[in-house]
Structure 1
Amino acid sequence: MTTDIRIGLVGAGLIGREHAKYCGIANGVELAGIADPSPESAETAQMYGVSHFTDYGAMFRSGDVQAVIAAVPNAMHTDVALAAMAAGLPVLVEKPLAESLEAGQRIVDESAQTGVPVLVGHQRRYAPDIAAAKAFIDEGGVGEVVSVAILSTWRKNEEYFQAPWRTAPGAGPVLINLIHDIDAIRHLVGDIESVVSLGSSTARGFQIADTVGAVMRFANGAIGTALASDAAVSPWCWDLTSGYGAYFPDPPAGDVYFISGTEASISLPSLTVSRHDGNPHWQVPLKQSILPRVEANPYVTQLQHFGAVARKEATPLITAADALQSLQVALSIDSSSDVPASRKAAL
């Protein structure tokens, strides 16, 4: 019989409350405590019947928890992760791994030194469409990958930005949202070695860009583009279109990832495969088919995997070192200026 891992949740904001909910659904884990100084978090803890702490260090010392979820603002990820590892507690750190490469490297180094595992919350790797596409691409289904396109555009409500950290450097649509797309594409296609980007803050007027465009070169020679905005009304956002987001309405039809190779292409989340009926060239008709998928909630699957990691039955699917590579790409793409000048970063 599998022993449930007692989870201590640090941060009971938007994503933290989702983790609390899914801890009650996932097998092998249970919510044991919430650490957050806000009065609202005490009500959340009471609702789930678990201990409440205003200080996460006190929760770590209590002996009530066996593993930790860090669902705090980006700039706090490093402090919480380091404190958890110092207490010998495996930690699931929400993305991004940290607010800077230096801070992220501290988490990587501490995990290596202590042997305490870190799992990073890039939950899309567990999503049914990503898993099916990964298997198809790895089996050579598209041939050699040539091009990639990512759309990640939506309009966030004004109340979302009442939290000051969401309007300051270290946040924004790249580090809060597009980093998920970057990690998913790295998982599907391979590492990214250089980027060129443009950013604009015209729509919202914050210190950070609200709209960003980037061109990426992958290590395998493929070229990719990414467009992200949190100020644009559109259906082209994986969280919405896939139906696997944590707090979104019913999905509209459409795709947001487009991966083309020398033999075929695949678009997600629909898993539509397009290939020529015969010789692969442009004057031969295209045939389309849909890949099968095994339905599952990626947040629940992620928590079940975290429980297995905490029980030492599995190693993290997304380690701190792996997530640091996605963070490096995101920071290279990120722009805090609305000056229309390109920036190139070698990774």
Structure 2
Amino acid sequence: MSLKKIAIIGAGVMGKKHAQTIIQHPLTELVAVCDPFSDAMAKEFAVPNFQDLNELFKNQLIDGVIIANPNRFHVSTAITCMQHGIPCLLEKPLALNTEEALSLISEQEKLNIPILVGHHRRHNPIIQQAKELIEKGIVGEINTFNALWSVYKPDPYFDIEWHRKAGAGVLAINLVHDLDLMRYLNGEIVSVQAMTSHKNRQLDVEDTISILVRFENGALGTLLASDAAVSPWGWDQNTEENKNSFATSPDQDCYYISGSQGALSVPNLEYWNYPENSQKSWAVNLVKNKIEPNKQEDVYLLQLSHFVDVINGQVEPISSPQDAIKNIQLLECIEQAAKEQRTVHLSSLTQLQKTA
């Protein structure tokens, strides 16, 4: 099978991460970088750098692109790539807001070029293992889904001005991943409530948030998060997925799912059920079981393998724009719920979009 020729648009931190992944993958070849501000990454990986997309497509044969430029350029870049017939792996967020996302989806449906949105945690084998356990009925009908994300961001993090401004808090920057996995494991969220706090740093941006969600299947969920609270609980610490940036606490869990038949903790994949043929009662001791979580495989390599399959037309994207827009809508509803201190129904946002 011939190597897929991949170009990276955007030579920042994520661009470099993707470049390192491409050169490790047996089925992909990094052929170019497109960045108007610096050719340093292109030189590092010994490939040409192009300052604009037209030059890239004019001079380079490409099977797919990875879009990792600043968020405000995601939609326009993806549309240009699709107009040239090039499948895209588009880093999250899909767009800055719902309106932008809808414009991208409209163009994609006209052009019929696939886009894989970079919600990379869906590719983690642990999530696939958890999903299989849930689908086997280990927990029965899910009733509650509790998620935690709590770290202490160092003070120098906030020396960067935009890190101190509204829109750059834990909700938009960090929790979109957890919300996406809550949806992926338990279905769509239909309404939200939220409270935010700025008490730790007194900045425009929130440092702590508490979110309550109602799922379409009737389950309730919570997501409690802070970037000013010391703890061992959070996806990055517990899965060891990002060892270069986060200290690890691999013996801890960050998601707790319970239902009519049992309970499951993630990422360590311990689950509890009543003994066979016993009465279901709070007076009966639960039996703890465990499957070994797969923490060995590189999530970005797995995502790239999926992108190769998308390019080849063998699979549909595990995270499509039509799916990823729901994360953007969810963030907007949570922000509204926190601001107005009321329950916000996602259906009301959908209705407003239809009448706009």
- TM-score (structure 1 length as normaliser): 0.91
Kept in 1: contact 2:268–2:292 (CA 8 A)? no
Q: Deviations over 1:231-253 (max 9, x none)?
A: 33322110221012363356212
Specify the alignment match of 1:256 in structure 2.
254
Percent identity at matched positions?
Answer: 35
SS in 1 for 2:29: strand
Matched letter for residue 14 of structure 1: V
SS in 2 for 1:266: strand
Q: Deviations over 1:163-200 (max 9, x none)?
A: 55444454332222111111111110110000001122
Q: Spell out the pairing of 1:54-69 with structure 2 (5 A cutoff).
A: 54-69=51-66
Matched letter for residue 211 of structure 1: T
SS in 2 for 1:119: strand
Q: Spell out the pairing of 1:122-271 with structure 2 (5 A cutoff).
A: 122-161=119-158, 164-245=161-242, 247-249=244-246, 251-252=248-249, 253-271=251-269
Q: Spell out the pairing of 1:1-347 with structure 2 (5 A cutoff).
A: 1=1, 3-39=2-38, 42-161=39-158, 164-245=161-242, 247-249=244-246, 251-252=248-249, 253-277=251-275, 278-294=278-294, 295-334=296-335, 342-347=341-346
SS in 2 for 1:130: helix
How far residue 54 of structure 1 moved from its aligned partner, in angstroms, is 2.8
In structure 1, runs of 5+ residues without a counterpart are none
Kept in 1: contact 2:337–2:343 (CA 8 A)? no
How far residue 342 of structure 1 moved from its aligned partner, in angstroms, is 2.2
How far residue 265 of structure 1 moved from its aligned partner, in angstroms, is 0.6
How far residue 57 of structure 1 moved from its aligned partner, in angstroms, is 4.1
SS in 2 for 1:58: helix
Q: C-alpha distance in 2, partners of 1:310/1:179? A: 26
SS in 2 for 1:77: helix
Deviating more after overlay: 82-91 vs 127-136? 82-91
In structure 2, runs of 5+ residues without a counterpart are 347-356
Cα distance, 1:336–1:77 mapped onto 2, change above 3 Å:
farther
Q: C-alpha distance in 2, partners of 1:325/1:249? A: 28
Kept in 2: contact 1:173–1:229 (CA 8 A)? yes
Matched letter for residue 232 of structure 1: A
SS in 2 for 1:78: helix
Q: C-alpha distance in 2, partners of 1:34/1:79? A: 17
Matched letter for residue 55 of structure 1: D
Matched letter for residue 229 of structure 1: S
Q: Deviations over 1:194-229 (max 9, x none)?
A: 000112233344433222110000000000000122
Kept in 2: contact 1:11–1:71 (CA 8 A)? yes
SS in 2 for 1:334: helix
Cα distance, 1:169–1:107 mapped onto 2, change above 3 Å:
farther
Kept in 2: contact 1:34–1:51 (CA 8 A)? yes
Which fold has the larger relative contact order, with Cα–Cα distance below 8 Å and residues 6 or more apart in sequence? 1
Deviating more after overlay: 265-274 vs 62-71? 62-71
Deviating more after overlay: 164-173 vs 185-194? 164-173
Kept in 2: contact 1:208–1:335 (CA 8 A)? no
How many equivalent pairs are there?
342
Give the root-mean-square deviation of aligned CA atoms: 2.2
How far residue 303 of structure 1 moved from its aligned partner, in angstroms, is 0.6
Kept in 2: contact 1:97–1:320 (CA 8 A)? yes
Deviating more after overlay: 203-212 vs 114-123? 203-212
- TM-score (structure 2 length as normaliser): 0.89
Cα distance, 1:87–1:66 mapped onto 2, change above 3 Å:
same
SS in 1 for 2:343: strand
Q: Which of 1 and 2 has greater Rg?
A: 2
